[in-house]
Structure 1
């Protein structure tokens, strides 16, 4: 198949949106009651400053697909640096769609054009957010991308059978004061530091870890959010924090986000995480949430097995490709 590439512009949105809507219509369920249309997603993406975007046509002028990447620039103290490279590029949800039949060939042609521009800007880490669609992910895998993170979704149901208790364990709702903010921030930093280890191997810069100590002040004061702290014999050994999830094409609304979850290494394996989660789910149901989402690193020796085991089903992937730093 002969392909011709060109810059993706507003005039291409209707044709590109047809491919995107077709793909999202088969993506994992449940989805938002009123999901954004392909045209809405695309218009927002290409309106972003410095977006790098291209489209491809096959023989006869058939629109074969498009690809759009956005620059990602993060300050050293931005907590997002704990999960993402500070100077990178992201193909967001809605940032690509391909006509069925020759997906790998079309994506290769588009990525060749877009990646050249990104590397010229010294952006050597590339991310892709997409629904948990195995065929779509495979086209990226064949270009050298790997699975970096998984987003899962679980229904929130009325209280059922609760996990068995743990001796001497107490669970309390965290407040909005400085002491609880410091406790949540301290355990969030400890959870983040775990990502430095095998097999995640993510650097956790100290300025970003320090920022976690105050990051959740607004969240703790939001009535749509809540956090709980687990303690045993006066020692705080775990916590969980729920917040309202940001709108996403792959999530129903309203949806709760499991923003933080932590159990001290010395207390793992006792069921404390399940008790904290059950407490959070009961609150979520009573406050109108019917779904909860969580995100984890695919290489995490703890999270990658735990969250699917408690009921989270994949609805989205984040893929990653790290280019050879000798290109600098």
Structure 2
């Protein structure tokens, strides 16, 4: 069956939001998800309302046989400067389909998505945007239609319930934990940059431009002076060997209210395997609970040999994925060369 495609404009937002809310309610809670993982506010109309005003947005809608809106797709252009820390996790000339940016009808997900993506991706490629990202909830039904198009999991977005202090991890001999402040920016920045730099290695293989790493060293200056954020440094025998940093989390369809984000965590390679990360996390969780947070979020690369096993092991459960597709760079060459 042929799917009719038409532009998505502001007048279509109310109906598109209804379709999104309905689709997301089906897609975001897989049967295996633990009952304590609260749902974030969907707010389809709010999400779509913000998207429609983004300059350069590529958006279209799918129509049923009667001409009614049955699905939509909206891609936001991503353009980053060489010294933007966001470039450490994103291609500097790419496109993102964020939460709210797509909704599909039940029973025809792959068929409708193929038609929508064919239209939108043609425009993206014409702009030489060859890296495409999409945010999806962790349920299998949300990711399968994208897998049919060649998208794979790249980033995992996890969530953990923050509870009152329970059993604490075993101590590490000679380890000291202290709260970090504004004066600790050099140490926090150094470890954040070192953590990011290691994403160049197997099997993540993510470019980490030096200018963006240099900017990351200064990036958390405001957070270290913000009472809504908190950081701790672990040291032993006068050597600073680890840190953890929390910042406020913005509620969205996969992030509930009263949530704090684990923005950075690092332990020197020579000190790993001793339980230092667990002690830092336990310290952060205690602060989060005492400050009214009931959830903690974190993001990690699905291909990371360290993070992909560690964060689920300490209690984070996937609630969303960022999928990605990278098109062959020869596409823009002469016809017949790709």
Q: Same fold (TM over 0.5)?
A: yes
Residue 133 of structure 1 and its aligned partner are, at CA, apart by 2.1
- How many residue pairs match? The answer is 324
Matches within 5 A, 1:1-328: 1-26=1-26, 27-28=28-29, 29-32=37-40, 35-177=41-183, 180-328=184-332
SS of residue paired to 1:60: coil
Residue 233 of structure 1 and its aligned partner are, at CA, apart by 1.0
State the distance in 1 between where 2:4 and 2:181 align: 58
| Runs of 5+ unmatched residues, structure 1 | none
Residue 62 of structure 1 and its aligned partner are, at CA, apart by 4.2
TM-score (norm 1): 0.96
Residue 30 of structure 1 and its aligned partner are, at CA, apart by 1.1
State the distance in 2 between where 1:39 and 1:268 align: 45
Residue 58 of structure 1 and its aligned partner are, at CA, apart by 2.6
TM-score (norm 2): 0.94
State the distance in 1 between where 2:238 and 2:272 align: 17
State the distance in 2 between where 1:161 and 1:65 align: 48
Residue 114 of structure 1 and its aligned partner are, at CA, apart by 0.1
Superposition RMSD in Å: 1.1
| Runs of 5+ unmatched residues, structure 2 | 30-36, 333-338
| Residues 30-86 of structure 1, C-alpha deviations (whole Å, 9 max, x = no match) | 123xx2532221121111111000111132334321100010001100001001000
State the distance in 2 between where 1:10 and 1:176 align: 44
State the distance in 2 between where 1:213 and 1:37 align: 35
State the distance in 2 between where 1:192 and 1:220 align: 19
State the distance in 2 between where 1:175 and 1:41 align: 35
Q: Is the 8 A contact 2:79 2:94 kept in 1?
A: yes
Q: Is the 8 A contact 2:43 2:253 kept in 1?
A: no
Residue 281 of structure 1 and its aligned partner are, at CA, apart by 0.3
| Residues 86-137 of structure 1, C-alpha deviations (whole Å, 9 max, x = no match) | 0000001100000101100100000000000000011000000121121111
State the 4+ residue runs in structure 1 displaced beyond 4 angstroms: none
Residue 297 of structure 1 and its aligned partner are, at CA, apart by 0.4
State the distance in 1 between where 2:256 and 2:23 align: 17
Residue 25 of structure 1 and its aligned partner are, at CA, apart by 2.2
State the distance in 2 between where 1:271 and 1:36 align: 37
State the distance in 1 between where 2:330 and 2:237 align: 52
State the distance in 2 between where 1:50 and 1:36 align: 24
